[in-house]
Amino acid sequence: MKNSIWSVGMALLAMASCQPGPEKAATPPNIIFIMSDDHAYQAISAYGHGLNRTPNIDRLASEGVMFNRSFVTNSICAPSRATMLTGKYNHLNGKVDNINDFDWNQANFAKVLQGHGYQTALIGKIHLDGAPQGFDYWNVLPGQGEYYNPDFIEMGERKRFPGYVTELTTEFALDWLKNKRDQTKPFLLLYHQKAPHRNWQPSPKYLNLFDDKTFDPPANFFDTYEGRGRAAREQEMEIYGHARWGWDFKLLADPNGDSTMFRGSLRRMDEQQRALWMDAYEQENQDFLKANLTGKELALWKYNRYIKDYLRTIQSVDDGVGELLDYLDANGLAENTIVVYTSDQGFYLGEHGWFDKRFMYEESFRTPLLIRYPKEIKPGSVNSDLVMNIDYAPTFLDYAGVEVPADMQGESFRKLVSGEEVEWRDAVYYHYYEFPGEHAVKRH
């Protein structure tokens, strides 16, 4: 039985590949748009920085294309998401910062694909208030979401789920692929992880990853900002001076013995989660407090606590990518599915002494971008053109064979990666608006 379905399938495939004319007519490609939150390209092993291993995300590089000059127009979460959905800069889609409202009534690429026969779903973090438009199914985190035992809002109904947010998001995405979508239609899945967003709480599975390792900070970790203007000096995103004892470094009491807000995060965990957490962190915390570190030694301890937790949360993101790729392989979907991996922006991993993003230095306004589409993209390609997050919407529509609305400002980069000669931009436009605000990064 299996064999006969297989041979009919192969015959149909052979017929389809003999058809002349544009791809569109035969089988529009499925699209899985994977986005994580604050994932620095420095923390994807394919980019070669040697910090961690991300074998599943790396598969997209070895089986597709890796972009090494991909930028966002405004390095902050909600505005970046608004740009990706609408294909427009923030001054036109209206979402200039994390605070003001997003207007879901405007056009977005998911709505356009939905109108052209696609089944569409949005799962995980979106960070844009209001009921998402353009999706047949949605199940999203409220706002930033929680790492442990998070609430999700499924089609308007808010429920709490026991477990770890990254694993749950993957479970919901797979459930939609397997059981909820209409299998007769092409699909668009936005699979959007909360991790590795602050305050970097790892899964129980990875609480001890990197325990026996000491990381060296980047060469400019002890930057004094000499020769630069007030903007660089007056930010509030230094690992040494601004990150918080409880929230960021997970101490239950600060060095003066005062209780920290991490106790609140522990209360959210169930007993078993809390016990595993305490086992992994508390002895180390006590040893640290006893050691009374100061100056450079203290700075290096803080850097290590930060980078280890950040990278631990990424390990679960990478596992999830692996689970989705396995599903595609096992169900004959790999060939006709475009898989995109990106982040809503870059992140500082100690460069200039910083965490967070916002500033238009490369670590922050550059973001990872990897795409696999076996039908058009040569495995192992590397692209160095200036692409931006305004380009994603027009690119997806182009692949689907659908006309790009005239007011989308991005350009499809499909031809750039299928090996055709195209004229391309030689500059990018960037605008950061959120000041005054958290981290005190000035407008620029």
> Given the complex with ligand SGN, which of 341 and 354 has the nearer CB atom?
354
Per CB under 6 A, the segment of 132-140, 192-200, 321-329, 389-397 that binds ligand SGN is 192-200
| Footprint on residues 291-350 left by ligand SGN (CB under 6 A) | none
Residue 38 binds Ca ion, judged by CB under 5 A: yes
The H-assigned helical ranges of 64-197 are 77-86, 90-93, 109-115, 165-175
Task: Give kind and range of the element (H or E) at residue 341.
Answer: strand 337-343
Q: Are the CB atoms for 74 and 96 separated by under 8 Å?
A: yes
Q: Are the CB atoms for 243 and 355 separated by under 8 Å?
A: yes
Judged by CB under 6 A, which of 39, 59, 111, 197 binds ligand SGN? 197
Judged by CB under 5 A, which of 77, 126, 239, 325 binds Ca ion? 77
| Footprint on residues 118-137 left by ligand SGN (CB under 6 A) | 127
C-alpha–C-alpha distance, residues 411 and 393, integer Å: 9
Q: Which of 115, 119, 281 is nearest to 207 (CA)?
A: 281
| Closest residue to Ca ion: CB criterion | 77
Per CB under 6 A, the segment of 16-24, 196-204, 208-216, 277-285 that binds ligand SGN is 196-204
Residue 356 binds ligand SGN, judged by CB under 6 A: yes
Q: Are the CB atoms for 363 and 49 separated by under 8 Å?
A: no
Helices 77-86 and 392-400, packing angle to 10 deg: 30
Q: Are the CB atoms for 185 and 119 separated by under 8 Å?
A: yes
- Write the CA distances from 367 to 7, 180, 235, 287, integer angstroms: 42, 32, 21, 37
Residue 37 binds ligand SGN, judged by CB under 6 A: yes
Q: Are the CB atoms for 200 and 310 separated by under 8 Å?
A: yes
> Given the complex with ligand SGN, which of 145 and 410 has the nearer CB atom?
145
Per CB under 6 A, the segment of 51-59, 149-157, 197-205, 296-304 that binds ligand SGN is 197-205
C-alpha–C-alpha distance, residues 213 and 303, integer Å: 13
Residue 438 binds ligand SGN, judged by CB under 6 A: yes
Judged by CB under 5 A, which of 63, 136, 344, 351 binds Ca ion? 344
Residue 56 binds ligand SGN, judged by CB under 6 A: no
Q: Which of 212, 217, 251, 207 is nearest to 51 (CA)?
A: 217
Residue 38 binds ligand SGN, judged by CB under 6 A: yes
Strand pairing category for 187-192 and 30-36: parallel
Per CB under 6 A, the segment of 151-159, 193-201, 283-291, 303-311 that binds ligand SGN is 193-201
Per CB under 6 A, the segment of 167-175, 194-202, 329-337, 367-375 that binds ligand SGN is 194-202
Residues of this chain that interact with Ca ion (CB under 5 A) are 37-38, 77, 344
Residues of this chain that interact with ligand SGN (CB under 6 A) are 37-38, 76-77, 98, 127, 197-199, 247, 356, 438-439
